[in-house]
Structure 1
Amino acid sequence: MKINAGEIRVGMLLEYKDDLWQVLKTQHVKPGKGGAFAQVEMKSINKNTKLNERFRSSETVEKASLEETKFNYLYEDDQNYFFMEPKTFEQIEIKKNIVGEKGKLLTENLEVSISFYNESPISVDLPNQVNCKIKSTDVALKGQTVSSSYKPAVLDNGLSIQVPPFIEADDEVVIDTRNLEYIKKI
């Protein structure tokens, strides 16, 4: 689908120079002399390289069309995560580098949304919140103000996060999967 350069937003996927690019930053510039343009920083999905490009406002770019499907997480091996489509029971495997650090938050039967581009998976979106158990945490220091002090904690899946001082080992907490931050205690 063609869009104007002025409609480019952060997070969009663009087809450009025979590759798929994710928009990291965009800035619309209107200089005193000459036409307006969009300064766009992009990252290649396939090659993991970055590109800075200027698009004139009158130019059009191709927005990638993605198919999004719900899957349930099954298990992992050394290189892949395995997912199952709940309606057809079709199983797919996705390389661990596509999922990234958030793969540690996957739990059995967790429903995720997988984006496909030309039949190949390019991203896995977890629910915004997941429940985790605290494995270990540091002791809170007396005299610290409660409102601004957080202490490090390790979750049962190995991720390290910051939690408020009242959180102890074996507590159940809710984590935001987008930024890996503590939300609340259960």
Structure 2
Amino acid sequence: MANILATQLRAGMIINYEGELCRVISVEHQTPGNLPARVVTKMKRLKDGINRENRFGSSDKIERASLEQHMLEYLYEDGDNLVFMNNETYEQTELSKEILGDDIVFLQPNMELEIEFNDGTPLSATLPASVVLEIVETEPVMKNANATGSYKPAKMENGVTVNVPPYMESGQKIRVNTVDRTYMERVK
């Protein structure tokens, strides 16, 4: 099992804390005045869904859970589950929609995700770092608009609103960062 520093914790990671697998929900780095820096985390224990908050010193070592990782292709939605397929074995795996949470809006047909398993049970899914989406609604192009101007909101085909440069218009495709939901570049 790999150990990481508390400062390396990120939301979505699965760690082994006090003998229990926990998903990190949020991480906050605090430097309170003349006291030592600390990392405050909110975690959910996977076996029963109980939430807990913990404080770690910035140099504390945390045990990252050793999980099997597989790239699986998204096939379709089935009620409260998503169905994925391993392209090497053609084995299908169902994953609860809850695992993706709000990021489910970025899921596209045939998209490959990294799925982490523990004893054959899928625990987490990681989307690609970016996706290409079409702008379906935005304000009209502004005259003399350039990339250095202010940004304007644009509604994407999946319903997410992203701030885009003022020269962008409906029907154009852009690359969107799936982590922070920001505009990256225009796609031709």
Report the TM-score, using the length of structure 1 for normalisation.
Answer: 0.79
Quote how far apart the aligned CAs of 1:25 are. Answer: 3.6
| Cα pair distance change 1:148/1:117, threshold 3 Å | farther
Q: Who wins on radius of gyration, i.e. which is larger?
A: 1
Q: Which residue of 1 aligns with 2:44?
A: 44
Using the alignment, how far apart are the partners of 1:37 and 1:165 within structure 2?
Answer: 41
Other-structure match for 1:10 = 9
RMSD: 3.0
Aligned residue number for residue 89 of structure 2: 88
- Look up the equivalent residue of 1:49 and give its one-letter code: N
Q: Which residue identity lines up with residue 150 of structure 1 in the other structure?
A: Y
Distance 1:174 1:72 in 2: 20
Residues 25-54 of structure 1: CA deviation (Å, up to 9, x unaligned): 45699x88xxx8954424115326231234
1:41 partner letter: T
Percentage of matched positions with identical amino acids:
30
Residues 61, 133 of structure 1: alpha-carbon distance in 2 compared, 3 angstrom cutoff:
closer
- Structure 2 residues without counterparts, runs of 5 or longer: none
- Seen in structure 2, the aligned counterparts of structure 1 residues 39 and 167 have a Cα distance that, compared at 3 Å, is closer
The size of the alignment, in residue pairs, is 179
Task: Give the SS at the match of 1:81.
Answer: strand
Aligned equivalents of 2:45, 2:181: Cα separation in 1: 22
The CA distance in 1 between the partners of 2:89 and 2:181, in whole Å, is 32
Aligned partner of residue 100 in structure 1, secondary structure: helix
Secondary structure, in 3 states, of the residue corresponding to 2:89? coil
Give the letter aligned to residue 124 of structure 2.
S
1:173 CA displacement? 1.1
1:48 to 1:185, Cα distance in 2 relative to 1, 3 A? farther
Supply the distance in 2 between the matched residues of 1:85 and 1:79 (Cα, whole angstroms).
Answer: 20
